[in-house]
Amino acid sequence: METPLSSPATRGNQSSPSYSFIAIEGNIGAGKTTLCHRLADRFGCALVLEQFTDNPFLPFFYLQPERYAFPVELFFMTERHKQLLEHFSKPNLFHTCTVADYFFVKTLLFAKNNLNEEEFRLFQRLFGVLNSTFPKPDLLLFLHRPVDVLLRHIHKRGRDIERNISAAYLEDIQNAYLEYLKTETQTPVLVLELGEASFEHDDAVFEAIAHLLAERHPTGFAVKTL
C-alpha cells in the first residue's frame, strides 16, 4: 500500500532513529551513499559504506560482463562480508545505530542478474555460509527512482567505470530488487518513491526521510511517497 509522508508542519523533532541497523538500498545512482552521510551527520550513526571502487574486476566487467561477472561478484561478496563482520564484531560505545549504503542480500540479487545458471548455483552456496555470520538490518529503506533519473545521476557524477551502464541493465537490477523486497516478511521494508526529489539539496525532503526513520514500522513491504 502506498502512503504519503507527513508534511513538515505535522512532524516533531526526532533525536534518533528507531532502529539500530538501517540499510539504505537502491539502484545505481539512486543516492544511497549521499543519504547515509546526511543521516550519520543528523543522528550520529556509525557509517558502513561500500568500497566498490576497490573491485579490480569492475572496469573489465562493464566492458565484458559475461567473462568477468563471476570474479566481480565474488570479490564484492567477500569484501562486503569482511566489512560487515569487522564492524559488528567490535562494540561501539559512541554510536547507538549503524547506517549502511547496502545490505548483504544485494550480493545475491546482483549475482542472480549477472551470472549464468551454473555459476549462480555455486555462488548461492557460498552466500549461504557467509550470510549467517553477522546481524541483519532491522529496517530496509529502498530509494526508488525512474531509470532515466538514475542515468542522469550516473552521467553527472562521471565515473569512468559507469559510462557504459545501460537503461536495460538498470531496469533489470531495479526489478530484481523489487521482486525480492516484496517477499521480505521478517523486516520492515520501505520503498521510497523519490522521482527527482533531492535530499542532498532540499532540506524538506531530507527532514521527511529523517522523520520516517524515527518512526516504528510493521514488518513487510510498504511504499511511501514524498
DSSP annotation of 222 reads E
Render pLDDT for 159-197 as a digit per residue (tens, 0 to 9): 888 888 999 999 999 999 999 999 999 999 999 999 999
Render pLDDT for 1-40 as a digit per residue (tens, 0 to 9): 566 665 443 344 445 788 999 999 999 999 999 999 999 9
User: In the predicted model, what is the mean pLDDT of residues 139-155?
Assistant: 97
DSSP for 37-91 reads HHHHHHH--EEE---GGG-TTHHHHHHSHHHHHHHHHHHHHHHHHHHHHHHHHS-
Render pLDDT for 34-64 as a digit per residue (tens, 0 to 9): 999 999 999 989 999 998 778 899 889 988 9
Helix ranges (DSSP H) in 58-192: 58-63, 65-89, 106-114, 117-130, 147-157, 167-181
Higher pLDDT among residues 158 and 177, named by residue: 177
User: In the predicted model, what is the mean pLDDT of residues 205-209?
Assistant: 95
Q: To the nearest whole number, what is the mean pLDDT of the chain?
A: 90
pLDDT at 17 (0 to 100): 83
Render pLDDT for 100-126 as a digit per residue (tens, 0 to 9): 999 999 999 999 999 999 999 999 999
Render pLDDT for 75-106 as a digit per residue (tens, 0 to 9): 999 999 999 999 999 877 677 799 999 999 99
End-to-end CA distance of the chain: 14
pLDDT at 1 (0 to 100): 55
Statement: 2-225 belongs to CATH 3.40.50.300: yes
CA distances from 203 to 18, 22, 38, 122, 152 (A): 21, 20, 10, 45, 21
